Structure 1
Amino acid sequence: MREDRGKYFNELVSMQKKLTEEGIAYWQLYSDFSSWQFWVCLLMLLYSECFPGCCFDSSCCDARLPMDNKQ
């Protein structure tokens, strides 16, 4: 029983190492700093953080509702 347990554990460790290697290979192929997609996503993130209100029309904030114009 103990030998089966050790064998199973070693199999799990081996599978975990292989999965880690595959994850690193995926990162290097599709999400590395050298890919243009990474830089586009980073620029979009930074742009949205630096200029959050540039896409909104601020003139609409000055308009009053008809109920506010009571005399």
Structure 2
Amino acid sequence: PYRKIDQEETLTCLKAQGGLDNCRLVFYQPGDIGNDGVWDNWRLEGPSFVWHFRGAPHVHVWVNVADDPAAKISTG
């Protein structure tokens, strides 16, 4: 439930960099909770967009969005 203005700004920034077609889904093996082979850390990454999910030790999600790929982002 993000505010409409935030949704619109995010979509504008994302579209300016090629949209979801210009993003990739990345999984990270380190941090496998319970050694079950299910990767618990992943990111949806684009030129100026990162949606990071980490499931250990509890769920963390953060999003970085910019209209310029030169903007600094969190690397997790």
The structure whose residues are more often strand, as a share, is 2
Question: TM-score normalized by structure 1?
Answer: 0.24
Larger Rg belongs to:
1
The structure whose residues are more often helix, as a share, is 1
Question: TM-score normalized by structure 2?
Answer: 0.22
Q: Which has the higher contact order (CA 8 A, sep 6+)?
A: 2
